Structure 1
């Protein structure tokens, strides 16, 4: 019975994290809520590494055509200086620039954030902030396409991603809010946000490999880990597809209202 409980726990938590990862409500914050409410404690960082890796794979699958085009055209511009490929080459540069703030600040502040900000109250307050930000930009309809982005846009969205290091601040929410505030079309903001997720997530995976290798629970929890990985992968895929549809219809208000309801409730009852 205990083994069955462990399997169900990892299956549900993997699906829960996977579903909340792409949408602007903070997956890490909601995972913290779930663990607090149900009295569940995750033994180590391997679970987080695996489910985040699964979400990354889902993003790679959905944006595979964009990635293939960017890599192909980026290489073409580097080797031939073909002006037709210049837009995609610049987009790659802006992705690199946008990755730097979160990468640098994550390395410098990770321990401090875990020590001082990893608590339910911070997550709840951050959710309220996320909800307000989403509400403020809910009706924006920008005009900037991929080729219209600037270095300033990349830096601002990059620093917004760095703000999401604070527990409860949604990474996708922060970057999409910043991108739309900079005048990007919703489709462009969404694409830039999730392509920006790829290098950050890959970096986190590389830094966490030692945790996986040295995990004393790896042998005993191998099957639960696998279940969590695949449940997160499937949930992330369908959640992102749903979120893309919500963005296309201009219904960000859904997430703003959700965050503005859940944040205060958590402050009151948890």
Structure 2
């Protein structure tokens, strides 16, 4: 019975991680107060790495055609310099530039964030900030397509992604807000946001590999981790597809309202 409850616990956290990772309401924040509500603490860093990998796979599956196109055309431009391949090559460059702020700040501030910012009050305040940002851009309809991006766009969206290292600041929310604030169309903003997630996520996994390998809990919790992984992958896939539909209809204001409701409740009652 205890083992069954353990499986349910990890399945629940896999669902929470998966459903909240793509949408702009902060997966890290929801994991913090999900643990608080249930008075459960997930031990071991391996679980976080597993959940990150599950969401990454969902993004890779959904954007597989874009990734194949960008890779093929990027290589073709590097080899031939044909103009028709240049926009995809430059999009790759902008993804690399946009990755730099989160990578640098993440390495420098990881210990500070984990020791000082992973608490419930910070999550509540950060959710309110996320809600305000989403509300401000709710009616924006940009004009920039993939080929219209610039280095400045990439840096600003990259800095927004770095800000999402703070629990409660949604990564997808911050990057989508910054992208739309820079005049990107909804589809371009969403694509850039989630393709930008890929190198950061892969980098996190590479840097965390030694921690994962040496985690003493990994052997005894392998089955719970795998169950959580599968649920997180499915939930991430469904959630991202749902967000694509919402972005197409311009309904981000509902996520802002959600953050306005949940943020104060977390601050006042948790």
TM-score category, normalised to shorter length: over 0.9
What's 2:163 paired with? 163
Task: Name the SS of the counterpart of 2:208 in structure 1.
Answer: helix
Distance (Å, rounded) in 2 between the aligned partners of 1:30 and 1:218 = 23
- TM-score computed with the length of structure 1 as normaliser: 0.99
Distance (Å, rounded) in 2 between the aligned partners of 1:210 and 1:114 = 18
Say whether 1:212 aligns with 2:212.
Answer: yes
What's 2:113 paired with? 113
Task: Name the SS of the counterpart of 1:42 in structure 2.
Answer: coil
Q: How far apart are 1:114 and its partner, in Å?
A: 1.1
Task: Name the SS of the counterpart of 1:74 in structure 2.
Answer: helix
What's 1:38 paired with? 38
The correspondence of residues 15-34 of structure 1 with structure 2, limited to 5 A, is: 15-34=15-34
Once the two structures are superposed, residues 191-216 of structure 1 have per-residue CA deviations (whole angstroms, 9 ceiling, x without a partner) of 00000000000000111111211111
Task: Name the SS of the counterpart of 1:177 in structure 2.
Answer: helix
Task: Name the SS of the counterpart of 2:25 in structure 1.
Answer: coil
What's 2:134 paired with? 134
Q: How far apart are 1:39 and its partner, in Å?
A: 0.5
What's 1:252 paired with? 252
Distance (Å, rounded) in 2 between the aligned partners of 1:258 and 1:98 = 28
- TM-score computed with the length of structure 2 as normaliser: 0.99
* RMSD across aligned positions (CA): 0.5
Q: How far apart are 1:217 and its partner, in Å?
A: 1.3
Once the two structures are superposed, residues 13-70 of structure 1 have per-residue CA deviations (whole angstroms, 9 ceiling, x without a partner) of 1011000000000001001110001011111111110011000000000000000000
Say whether 1:234 aligns with 2:234.
Answer: yes
The correspondence of residues 3-14 of structure 1 with structure 2, limited to 5 A, is: 3-14=3-14
Q: How far apart are 1:117 and its partner, in Å?
A: 1.0
What's 1:102 paired with? 102
Once the two structures are superposed, residues 72-121 of structure 1 have per-residue CA deviations (whole angstroms, 9 ceiling, x without a partner) of 00000000001000000000000000000000000001101111111110
Listed as ranges, the gaps of 5+ residues in structure 2 are: none
What's 1:52 paired with? 52
Task: Name the SS of the counterpart of 2:44 in structure 1.
Answer: coil
Distance (Å, rounded) in 2 between the aligned partners of 1:152 and 1:205 = 28
Say whether 1:74 aligns with 2:63.
Answer: no
Once the two structures are overlaid, the 10-residue window that deviates more, 113-122 or 75-84, is 113-122
Listed as ranges, the gaps of 5+ residues in structure 1 are: none
Kindly tell me the number of residue pairs found equivalent between the two proteins. 270
Distance (Å, rounded) in 2 between the aligned partners of 1:166 and 1:28 = 9
Distance (Å, rounded) in 1 between the aligned partners of 2:118 and 2:217 = 24
Q: How far apart are 1:220 and its partner, in Å?
A: 1.1
Shift >2 Å, 4+ stretches: none
What's 2:261 paired with? 261
Distance (Å, rounded) in 1 between the aligned partners of 2:202 and 2:95 = 13
Distance (Å, rounded) in 2 between the aligned partners of 1:87 and 1:230 = 36
Q: How far apart are 1:218 and its partner, in Å?
A: 1.4
Distance (Å, rounded) in 1 between the aligned partners of 2:28 and 2:155 = 24
